[in-house]
């Protein structure tokens, strides 16, 4: 008799699954040295929230116009006694949500693709430097990605069968969850789906009134479920309308081109590069554009929904943030960018495979730069606030020490959290606060005055 043990079929299938290997590689990249980058301003806000008592969290979020779902989840996650530092706990939550997003994308969007396309997607997705960057931050990017992946799928199915009550219910639930996660993807997906549903109804020959009532009822239900946070959404939209984001170039057309190019670079090659990868990316960029165009020509069924969603989201992002944060705000569109790219590869297999292979090589270089903390396009992610705080506190601190902080060109909240009440700090944001700081310095005597500022001034006027 043979002594060789039999391996059960499910185990064999597991090891043969590309998703299994993709999740393994992604886990290593996501969880390796989660304390690598210093805490930056938005992460410090999350740390402040999870450190508050539960009863204070809704009021702070309401005042600061943030949707609550991610912060409730982060607060619950951080209440578990993990043997990790607070920032590593938050970043680990983002990494877990990214892994769940990978499984969700594979189950919803990849299951009907031919095997080569699925393999290429999982490879580009797993080694995406932009996904790695933002899925290792203590922010809601990973949860936005997960919720938007489900909401886009529910919207696509609802568009295919607008008379289906079950698809309408799934759409309502998914969109509500997305809106409670973040306004931008929620409004973009909901707005695009509503427009396309109404257009589809108007173009239909019978114009069934039940379909129109169902569409209106679905979006009315979303508004009803979102009623507790509707006032905060209104305040957020008014702030966006009054916002004055920093413009790199005075010309609106050129500025739009810069923002779009940054978004394209982020999705294609990442946001941290060794010198050789910059040249390689420039050479590959026309090929990536060509593949996207070929993908458009293939005309996947979800393309119109994704393009309209992307247009709405891009308009909202550029109205609120500078070019350096476009990739972060639109991260939820990354799966569809890659899917469209691979539609182009499927139409042109040989040339497309060469371009995708080049993208993987550049991505590995960008990941290497990330872990070496070099070549970052956005240096704001590398500001060593804790080291700055230690430098300040290495001097004899006391009533004779003052720290002036430029609050307009950088978010100094990690520094303020690091020094706490041990050192007196004044945050300067605008002309009035600058005059008040000048008066205070002239009125009181200080032995040491530190001034934390950016290397260039991006304040309005």
Q: Are residues 68 and 179 both part of a single domain?
A: yes
Q: Are residues 436 and 351 both part of a single domain?
A: no
* Neighbouring C-beta atoms of residue 203, cutoff 10 Å: 8
What pLDDT, on the 0 to 100 scale, is given for residue 4?
A: 54
**302-359 tens-digit pLDDT:** 999 999 999 999 999 988 888 889 999 999 999 999 999 999 999 999 999 999 999 9
| Residue 88 in this model has a pLDDT that exceeds 60 | yes
How many domains, in total, are found in the chain?
A: 2
| Residue 45 in this model has a pLDDT that exceeds 80 | yes
**244-259 tens-digit pLDDT:** 777 777 777 888 888 9
| Residue 399 in this model has a pLDDT that exceeds 70 | no
What pLDDT, on the 0 to 100 scale, is given for residue 253?
A: 82
Using alpha carbons, select from 323, 278, 327 the residue that is nearest to residue 132: 327
Which residues have C-beta within 8 Å of that of residue 181, sequence separation ≥ 6?
A: 67, 69, 70, 140, 143, 144, 147
User: Is 460 within the bounds of a domain?
Assistant: no
Local structure of 405: helix, strand or coil: strand
Q: Are residues 441 and 357 both part of a single domain?
A: no
Name the CA radius of gyration of the chain, rounded: 24
> DSSP character for 271?
S
User: Is 348 within the bounds of a domain?
Assistant: yes
Per-residue exposure over 28-38, b if at least 16 CB sit within 10 Å of its own CB, e if not: ebbeeebeebb
Using alpha carbons only, what angle is made at residue 285 by residues 281 and 287, rounded to the nearest 5 degrees?
A: 125
Which residues have C-beta within 8 Å of that of residue 382, sequence separation ≥ 6?
A: 37, 38, 373, 376
Domain boundary among 379, 407, 430: 379
**11-44 tens-digit pLDDT:** 666 677 899 999 999 999 999 999 999 999 899 9
Q: Are residues 435 and 326 both part of a single domain?
A: no
Q: Are residues 389 and 295 both part of a single domain?
A: no
**245-304 tens-digit pLDDT:** 777 777 778 888 889 999 999 999 999 999 999 999 999 999 999 999 999 988 899 999
User: Is 1 within the bounds of a domain?
Assistant: no
The domain of 246 spans: 21-379
What pLDDT, on the 0 to 100 scale, is given for residue 397?
A: 57
The two three-digit tokens of residue 325, written as one number = 């944060």
User: Is 321 within the bounds of a domain?
Assistant: yes
Q: Which residue has the tokens 């304390």?
A: 35
Higher pLDDT among residues 370 and 434, named by residue: 370
pTM summary value:
0.91
Local structure of 211: helix, strand or coil: helix
Please state, for a pLDDT cut of 70, what percent of the chain lies above it: 95
What pLDDT, on the 0 to 100 scale, is given for residue 398?
A: 60
Phi, psi (degrees; rounded to nearest 5) at 218: -60, -45
Domain boundary among 379, 401, 424: 379
User: Is 424 within the bounds of a domain?
Assistant: yes
């Amino acid at each position: 008799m043979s002594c060789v043990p039999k391996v059960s079929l499910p185990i064999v299938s597991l090891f043969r699954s590309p998703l299994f290997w993709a999740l393994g590689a992604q886990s290593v990249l996501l969880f390796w040295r989660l304390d690598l980058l210093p805490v930056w301003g938005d992460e410090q806000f999350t740390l402040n929230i999870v450190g508050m008592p539960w009863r204070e969290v809704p009021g702070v979020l309401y005042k600061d116009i943030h949707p609550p779902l991610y912060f409730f989840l982060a607060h619950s996650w951080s209440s578990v006694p993990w043997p990790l530092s607070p920032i590593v706990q938050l970043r680990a939550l983002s990494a877990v949500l990214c892994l769940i997003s990978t499984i969700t994308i594979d189950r919803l969007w990849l299951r009907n693709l031919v095997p080569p396309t699925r393999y290429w997607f999982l490879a580009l997705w797993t080694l995406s430097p932009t996904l790695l960057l933002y899925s290792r931050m203590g922010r809601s990017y990973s949860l936005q990605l997960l919720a938007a992946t489900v909401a886009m799928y529910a919207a696509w199915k609802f568009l295919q069968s607008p008379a289906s009550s079950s698809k309408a219910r799934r759409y309502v639930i998914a969109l509500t969850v997305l809106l409670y996660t973040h306004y931008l993807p929620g409004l973009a997906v909901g707005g695009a789906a509503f427009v396309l549903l109404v257009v589809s109804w108007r173009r239909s020959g019978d114009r069934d009134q039940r379909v129109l009532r169902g569409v209106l009822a679905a979006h009315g239900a979303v508004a009803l479920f979102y009623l507790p946070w509707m006032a905060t959404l209104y305040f957020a939209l008014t702030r966006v309308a009054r916002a004055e984001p920093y413009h790199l170039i005075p010309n609106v057309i050129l500025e739009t081109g810069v923002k779009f190019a940054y978004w394209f670079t982020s999705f294609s090659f990442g946001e941290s590069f060794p010198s050789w990868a910059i040249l390689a990316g420039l050479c590959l960029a026309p090929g990536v554009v060509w593949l996207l165009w070929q993908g458009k020509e293939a005309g996947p069924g979800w393309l119109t929904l994704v393009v309209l969603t992307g247009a709405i989201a891009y308009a909202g992002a550029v109205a609120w943030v500078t070019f350096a944060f476009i990739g972060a705000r639109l991260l939820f569109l990354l799966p569809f960018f890659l899917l469209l790219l691979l539609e182009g590869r499927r139409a042109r297999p040989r040339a497309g495979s060469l371009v995708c292979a080049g993208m993987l090589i550049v991505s590995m270089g960008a990941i290497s730069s990330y872990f070496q903390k070099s070549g970052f396009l956005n240096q704001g992610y590398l500001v060593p606030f804790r080291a700055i705080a230690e430098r300040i506190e290495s001097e004899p601190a006391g009533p004779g020490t003052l720290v002036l902080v430029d609050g307009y060109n950088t978010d100094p909240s990690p520094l303020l959290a690091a020094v706490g009440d041990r050192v007196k700090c004044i945050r300067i944001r605008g002309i009035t606060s600058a005059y008040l700081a000048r008066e205070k310095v002239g009125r009181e005597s200080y032995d040491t005055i530190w001034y934390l500022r950016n290397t260039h001034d991006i304040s309005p006027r």
